[in-house]
Every structure is written in structure tokens, then in C-alpha cells.
Amino acid sequence: MDVEYTLRMIPSSSPPFDLGFIATRPLHRFLASRPTLNTVLAGLNTVFVGMQMVYIIWTFLIEGRPRATISALFMFTCRGILGYATQLPLPEDFLGSGADFPVGNVSFFLFYSGHVAASVIASLDMKRMQRWKLAYLFDTLNVLQAIRLLSTRGHYTIDLAVGVGAGILFDSLAGKYEESRKKELFADSPNGTSNDVFQNSQTHENGEYLSVSSH
């Protein structure tokens, strides 16, 4: 309440106030004076985005586990709706690059960060599968990605923070969606009650299915 009643609002003629931008001012100046390095880092970040997408699609097409893919579909659908409903202006000192994602320096939604959210979704799936080293690698790259996005003014701090929350939220919703679909299939099974079928298809924490004989 103290913050609510004492904080002075930013005038409409002024750019937004962002602590993340203030913290990354030295990096912003450094990249602004080195456009080639900025493009290299943008390209590397795009490679990381590609790694996220490849992993998420791999879990569905190769491993037969749709949760991460469902989560990403939920996340990007919501992001598209919110990004269209409230269109935020690009920061004046945005450092764009043709190598950045979306490739070609085309328009993109600021709120919320799909870069961060997709990385969180992939990391959570890796941890469920106990792929700890890969998960920690993705978490580290996600932090570096967030620093770069702040430094280039490609996202506001709130976009990144909500991106983390969105990844966690939609992963959870995808899990609940999977459970509800399984219950519907079990209920419609002609071989017995939903409980009988559920006991015959228990799922391990690592995502593999165990066959359990019914009694």
C-alpha cells in the first residue's frame, strides 16, 4: 500500500520506467557500439529458440509425450491474444537484428516473452524425465537470454517475469488437460470401469508407462 500511494506515475510523454533497462545500461551501450556482435548474439539466441522448439516437438512426435507440445500451444495462443489485445510500443533504443527471432526483424509481441516461456516449458519437461544436465543447461541459457533481451530492449522486465510464470502455468494446465482426457478415455473403455483401466496404465514419474495387472 505504501508503494501504491507514494509512487509517482510516469508521464504519458515519457518512456516506460524499467529497472531491468537501468541495470543493463552498460551492456546496452556495449552492444549498440558493436552491431556485429549484437547480430552474432541474436543468431545464437535464435539457435536456442530452435533448440526449444525441436525438443518440444521431439517429445510429441518421437517419444509420444504430448504434454510439452500442448503446453506450448496453450502458451502461444494466450500470448497471441494478449499481444493483440494490448499492443505495447517498442522501446526507442531497441537494438534490432535480422538474425533475431522472429527471423527477419519482423514485428513481434512484447507481452509476454515467448522466448522465456518456451524455455521454461522445455526445462520442466526435462526435469520430469530426470534429464537434469540438459534442464540446467536450458535454465542457464534462459537466464543469459533474458539478460540479452533486456540489454537489446527486446523485452521489458515484466515480459520476462510473466514469461516464467506463463511457462509454469501452461505446463500445469497441459498436465491437467492430459489427465482429463485420460479419464474420459478410461470412462469410455469397454473393458471395465475407469479405475480398472487406470490401474492398467500407471505412469512413472519419468514419463514411461508401466503395465499393472488388474485383479
User: What residue spans define the domains of the chain?
Assistant: 19-99+109-187
Calculate the alpha carbon distances from 123 to 12, 65, 85, 110, 167 in Å: 39, 15, 29, 22, 9
Q: Is 28 an active-site residue?
A: no
- Reference 165, options 62, 90, 75; nearest CA is 75
Beta carbons of 190 and 202 less than 8 angstroms apart: no
Q: Is 115 an active-site residue?
A: yes
Q: Is 204 an active-site residue?
A: no
pLDDT tens string for the chain (215 positions)?
888 888 888 888 888 889 999 999 999 999 999 999 999 999 999 999 999 999 999 999 999 999 999 999 999 999 999 988 988 888 888 888 877 877 655 567 888 899 999 999 999 999 999 999 999 999 999 999 999 999 999 899 999 999 999 999 999 999 999 888 888 887 777 665 544 444 444 444 455 444 333 33
Helix (H) or strand (E) holding 202: strand 202-203
Options 28, 125, 155, 171, the catalytic residue? 155
Fill in the amino acid letter for 36: T
A 10 A CB-CB count for 25 gives 12
Helices 132-151 & 35-61, crossing angle to 10 degrees?
A: 140
Residue with cell 502461444: 76
Q: How far apart are CA 33 and CA 123, in angstroms?
A: 34
Options 100, 115, 125, 171, the catalytic residue? 115
Options 28, 100, 125, 159, the catalytic residue? 159
